Amino acid sequence: MFWSILVFLLVLSVLVLVHEFGHYWVAKRNGVWVEEFGFGLPPRVFGKKIGETIYSINALPFGGFVRLHGEMNEDPTPQELRGAGGVFKASRAFINKSLWVKTAVIVAGVIMNFLLAIVCFAIVYSFSGIPREQGYVEIVDIVADSPASNSNIVVGQKLYSIDNKDVVYREEVTDISSKGGKHTLIIGDKDADRQDLKKVVINTKFDEEDQKWYMGLVLTSTEIFYPPYWQRPFYGAYYGTKEAMFWGKNVVNGFISIFADLFKGQSPKDVSGPVGVFAVTTEVAKTGVLSLINLVGIISVNLAILNIIPFPALDGGRLLFIIVEAIFGKKVAPKLEGIIHSVGMIILLLAILTITVKDIRGLISAGSISGFLNNMAK
C-alpha cells in the first residue's frame, strides 16, 4: 500500500506540475510577475527566492501551483511592493496584460497536459512497437461456447470476405456481424494466398449482458512492427499524437454524456474521482512501467479537457471572462470575478467529495481494489 500511494502521488504530481509549468513558463516569457512556483500544496515547508520568484516545497506532497501577481487585483499592497524589491510596474500584473497574453498564460497549462500525453504515448509506442495495417483480417482467437466455436475455423487463418464483401479491416467484419442473422465467411490459410478457400456459415448469437450480436471470432487487421531505433522517436511522435487525439475525442464524448445526464436530472454513472484514479493507478503499476506511462498519458488528456471546460475556477472559466472582456470591451469587476471563481471552487470541491464518498463505499463493498475496478468496468 505504501508503494501504491507513493506511485499515485508521483503520477498526480507530474500531471499537475507539468500543467502549472505551462502557466509559469508562458507568464515569465510575457513579463508577468510570478510570485511563487510551489511543489505540493501549502502550508509551505521550505522556500527559496531566486530573482523575483519564490520556489517552494509544501506540506501536502502532491500537485503544485503557480501564484501570479495581479490575477484578480491590479493594485499592489505595500508587502507586494517590498516583495518586488520596492519597484512595481502595473504592466507586470497579470490582470493588466493584453487579452492575447492572458489567453496564452491560461491555455498553456492545457497545452502542456496534451503535450505530456503525446510524449507518454510516443514513449510507449517507441518501446512496445508501432501498430500498422497488415492488409488482411486475421483470426487470433475463438470464444469458447460461441457460434464460431462449433465451426471448423482455425486460429491463424485469414478471413477474406463476409456475405460476399471482401474485407481487409476488422471493423468491416464487425459492422456486418453486429446486425445479427446468418453470415457466410470465406476463410483460408494465411500463407496460401487465396488457395484452398472454404466457406463457413455462422449464425450470430445475441449477448443479453452486452446487448449485441456476436459470432465469437476475435479478429485483428493490424500487426506490430519495430522500425530502426533512430526512426522510433518520429514514429512514436506521430502515433502518439494520433493516440492523444483518439483519447481526447473519447473524453469529450464522455463529458457530453455526463452533462446530458445532468440535464435529464440523472446521476452520471461512469464518473470516478481520486479514489478511482488511485485504484486504477495501483493495478496498472503492477503490469509494468510502460503501462503506467500509458495511463499517465490518458489521465493527462482527461485533465486537459476538464480544465478547458468553461466553469468557474477552471482554466476554461477564466478564459470565459477573457472572452467576455473581448466582446464587450470591458473587464468584469475583479471582486465579482473572484467571488464567482470562489463559488465555482466550492462546487467543484463538493462534487469531488461526493464522488469520493461514493467511490469509498464502492471500494468497501467490493472488498478489494480489483473487485472495485471490476464493478467500475460493468
Q: Is residue 155 part of a domain?
A: yes
In-domain check, residue 147: yes
Lookup: cell for 221: 487487421
Is residue 52 a contact partner of residue 85, using CB atoms and an 8 Å limit? yes
Cα separation, 116 vs 20, in Å, equals: 12
Residue 182 lies in a domain: yes
Among 223, 198, 215, 306, which Cα is nearest to 258's?
Answer: 306
In the block, residue with C-alpha cell 467571488? 339
In a domain, 178, yes or no: yes
Q: Let me know if 290 is exposed, middle or buried by CB neighbors in 10 A (0-12, 13-18, 19+).
A: middle
Q: Report d(CA 103, CA 137) in Å as an integer.
A: 47
Q: What residue numbers bound the domain in which 214 lies?
A: 130-225
Average confidence (pLDDT) per 10 residues, the chain, 378 residues: 81 89 94 88 86 87 80 57 52 84 94 95 91 87 87 87 90 88 87 78 84 88 88 89 90 82 68 79 88 93 91 89 88 83 86 82 76 66
Confidence at residue 86, expressed as pLDDT on a 0 to 100 scale: 45
Q: Is residue 159 part of a domain?
A: yes
Rounded distance between C-alpha atoms, residue 274 and residue 263, angstroms: 24
pLDDT at 120: 94
Supply the pLDDT for residue 156.
87
Q: What are phi and psi of 132, to 5 degrees?
A: -145, 155
| Counted domains in the chain | 1
Amino acid, res. 196: D
Please name the amino acid found at residue 113. Answer: N
Look at the block and give the residue holding cell 496584460.
97
Provide CB contacts within 8 A for 163, sequence distance 6+: 176, 183, 184
Contact (Cβ atoms closer than 8 angstroms) between residue 58 and residue 40: yes
The pTM assigned to this predicted structure is 0.80
CATH code, 188:
2.30.42.10
Peptide bond into 61 cis (omega under 30): no
Instruction: Write the secondary structure of 296-335 as one string of H (helix), E (strand) and C (coil).
Output: HHHHHHHHHHHHHCCCCCCHHHHHHHHHHHHHHCCCCCHH
Residue pair 195/201 in contact by the 8 Å Cβ criterion: no
Q: Contact 202/168 with Cβ under 8 angstroms?
A: no
What spatial distance separates the first Cα and last Cα of the chain, rounded to whole Å? 25
Name the residue type at position 155.
Answer: V
∠ CA 153-156-160, rounded to 5°: 70
Strand partners, 137: 159
The amino acid occupying position 287 is T
Report phi then psi at 160, rounded to 5.
-85, -40
Domain annotation covers residue 138:
yes
**Per the domain annotation, does 265 fall within a domain?**
no
Count CA within 13 A, CB hemisphere, residue 179. Answer: 9
Answer whether residue 190 is part of any domain: yes
